[in-house]
Structure 1
Amino acid sequence: MLRKILKKVLLTVVVLIGVLVIAYVLFNNFYPSFGGDVTKERQQVYKQSEQFKEGIFINKKAVPKDLSFSESLNLAYKFFTIKVPNGRPKEDLKVIKLDSANVADYKSKTRMIWYGHSSFLLQMDGLNILLDPMFGMVPAPHPWLGDDRFNKEMPLEVEKLPRIDAVIFSHDHYDHLDYETILKLKDKTKHYFVPLGLGVHLEAWGIPADKITEMDWWEEKQLQNITLVCTPAQHFSGRKLDNSQSTLWSSWVVKSLDENIYFSGDSGYAPHFKEIGEKYGPFDLALMECGQYDEMWPDIHMMPEETAQAGLDVKAKKIMPIHWAGFKLALHDWKDPIKRVEAKALELNLKVIAPQIGQEIIVADSVSTYANWWKNL
């Protein structure tokens, strides 16, 4: 009798494990938000890149470190069990709403509109450009797998945006490249500029290959009178367990005849900032990663003090901290990034601007100040 019961229990466990394995395989291979996979044929093309070695993209420094199974479990346990005081705002962040007609008809000085985290609308030389447009609610392949963003409202909904001349992406992580956002943008976007390999995701989501330009580090392209430069970063990529490092990550220089902007993407602090500053600086405005850091992953995200130093390295006239006030992806107080970077920047005599989500940023403006909108939240 006992043997029969044990057999039934064992059979149930085996069936359950089998169902879970099949569900994972189906989810991993067919759920659309994962995007595409780099083919062997594309890998042959990427072999021409100094950043591509033995089938993956690499940093100049040997990071990020491959975690052991126990280290990965420990990291996951800490992230999901540690309670972070003030880890996210107590209420949704209020945004400044934009008038769609004003955005569509804008022809004045180069300006930017922050959407929170690392997403921007850039209006330069009569063109509309989006940087890392992530307008979804959750930075994960499925809504159940992450927390909602801090601002549920947008300055201007995707559907009301005007024709987009170019979309620029820094890398393929979910808090920067979002499936649902691409579906909403693809019928109004003329062209996409991305690091090597990232085009496979866009193509998997229905973007024609001739509307995508993949670029390697230090490669330049012209968008009418605007120069786009794909520049280095120290980070990593991957949208599922089996395609880590299969696409490249980058920062970007966006330069018109009158203004020069640097967009750091995600990056740990490294010598590439000085190299970029020497080659393409000074910058009127540098959008610098500052948030989602931790001592457990110091090589792939900067501490706020490093963000300020990187701003000096790239020869920025002023910096704007980004990658904060959007999502909770680390274990720090949500206001910690802005407090620490401002303190270090003051010490370094570096100007910091921190506009509210949706607030107009005139790139060449060296006079305006911004209220500390986060202080009482």
Structure 2
Amino acid sequence: MSSPLIDKYQASPQRRGQRFHNPAPRPPQSIGKTLRIIWNALFHKPADTRPQAPIPVQALTRAQLDAAPDRSLYRLGHSTMLIKLRGAYWLTDPVFAERASPLRWMGPKRFHQPPIALSDLPPLRGVVLSHDHYDHLDRWSIEQLAASTGVFLTPLGVGDRLIEWGVDASKVHQLDWWESIEIDGLRMTAAPAQHFSGRTPLDGNSTLWASWAIFDDELRVFFSGDTGYFDGFKRIGERLGPFDITLMETGAYDGQWPYVHMQPEQTVQAHRDLRGRWLLPVHNGTFDLAMHAWQEPFERIVSLAAQRDVPLATPRMGERLDLAAPHQGERWWRNVESAATARLESALSLK
């Protein structure tokens, strides 16, 4: 039996048959290449893909969050951002689990704990999801948030997963690209992205992926989710920009998968296509998901932003960023490397 939501899936310009697609077809990838990528990730990881000293985390308390002014943003890790707008909190791509994996005992493990425990968060007005990969959609986190969260905004199909996990269907709003929803005076618009979806080998692209534009009166915030570079950024900038700040994927890139993740040079170009002012690089500093050094995305984006005169914000995990007046932040990852070097030198001197 058909339903309005199923009809909406079938009518989506992004849907063909039983799968969602990018406007530009993703180049085919052989099984051999896929197996080589997996083999290298399992057995040929460089030693520097994980930090050798603790990541600095600024702990947060419920009292601090309650007292924070509107338009405060806190990086909690990877692509999880806690944002206060109009007196209420919104959370992007919540992952509080120890691993970004379907298994609790295996898979990419966190470099650091979240600045605040999931149970200590204030009730959320909403959760905004970009897609259903494990480093962006954590079932345990969603189940813990289900009762205390007002609404869940998702691309098409992702909301079905939430409902299967016990989230009240009346709280779930599933949007196609370019669709908007207004909640408490805020406008949220799902925008295109170039990526893919799936949580098992059998359900690839059965759900949609998206970026998001968030509007609070004159304030405009862009959240990229996961994406490769594509000409859609220019269309988003023309239709929804300019943006005061862009929260842009900068990490987990590799020459072997250029179609679905951006190199830092592309991140900066996408930011400019969006007509962004401040750039906040995300999707880094929490999980080991690629073959590059863990701090490389930060160093490359800092250099590129300076060359192209792009204001760049790099807050520590848990550090407050004022969306109305962002600040640069310290280059905190360099202190991590300095601490690791000092620890190594000390160990060698004792031998």
Same fold (TM over 0.5): yes
Identity of aligned residues (%): 35
Q: 2:102 aligns to what?
A: 141
More strand by share: 2
Q: 2:32 aligns to what?
A: 70
The 5 Å alignment of 1:156-171 reads 156-171=116-131
The 5 Å alignment of 1:365-376 reads 365-366=325-326, 368-376=327-335
Q: Which amino acid letter does the alignment assign opposite residue 103 of structure 2?
A: H
| Structure 2: distance between partners of 1:147 and 1:40 | 39
Structure 1 unpaired stretches of 5+: 1-38
Are 1:53 and 2:16 an aligned pair? yes
Q: Which amino acid letter does the alignment assign opposite residue 50 of structure 1?
A: P
Are 1:89 and 2:48 an aligned pair? no
Q: Secondary structure at the match of 2:276?
A: coil
Q: Which amino acid letter does the alignment assign opposite residue 331 of structure 2?
A: N
- 1:105 is displaced (CA, Å) by 4.0
Q: 1:121 aligns to what?
A: 82
- 1:322 is displaced (CA, Å) by 0.4
Normalising to structure 1: TM-score of the pair? 0.86
Are 1:132 and 2:93 an aligned pair? yes
| Structure 1: distance between partners of 2:307 and 2:47 | 27
Of 270, 281, 284, the match for 2:241: 281
Larger radius of gyration: 1
Of 63, 66, 75, the match for 1:104: 66
- Count of aligned pairs between the two proteins: 335
**What CA deviation, in whole Å up to 9, does each residue of 1:285-325 have, x standing for no partner?**
10000000001100100001110111111111110000000
**What CA deviation, in whole Å up to 9, does each residue of 1:241-284 have, x standing for no partner?**
11000000000001101311000000000011111111111111
Q: 1:8 aligns to what?
A: none
Q: Which amino acid letter does the alignment assign opposite residue 86 of structure 1?
A: D
Are 1:150 and 2:97 an aligned pair? no
Root-mean-square deviation (CA, aligned residues, Å) is: 1.5
| Structure 1: distance between partners of 2:7 and 2:236 | 28
The 5 Å alignment of 1:217-296 reads 217-296=177-256
CA contact (8 A) 1:196 1:216 kept: yes
Of 155, 159, 164, the match for 1:199: 159
Are 1:315 and 2:278 an aligned pair? no
Structure 2 unpaired stretches of 5+: 337-351
| Structure 2: distance between partners of 1:288 and 1:45 | 29
| Structure 1: distance between partners of 2:277 and 2:33 | 41
| Structure 2: distance between partners of 1:128 and 1:83 | 38
Q: Which amino acid letter does the alignment assign opposite residue 217 of structure 1?
A: W
Q: Which amino acid letter does the alignment assign opposite residue 137 of structure 1?
A: E
Q: Which amino acid letter does the alignment assign opposite residue 50 of structure 2?
A: R
**What CA deviation, in whole Å up to 9, does each residue of 1:47-67 have, x standing for no partner?**
11000002100001111x343
**What CA deviation, in whole Å up to 9, does each residue of 1:177-200 have, x standing for no partner?**
001111211111011000000012
**What CA deviation, in whole Å up to 9, does each residue of 1:123-147 have, x standing for no partner?**
0111210011111110110023303
CA contact (8 A) 2:61 2:120 kept: no
CA contact (8 A) 1:100 1:160 kept: yes
CA contact (8 A) 1:98 1:155 kept: yes
CA contact (8 A) 1:169 1:195 kept: yes
| Structure 1: distance between partners of 2:205 and 2:217 | 35
Normalising to structure 2: TM-score of the pair? 0.92
CA contact (8 A) 1:104 1:161 kept: no
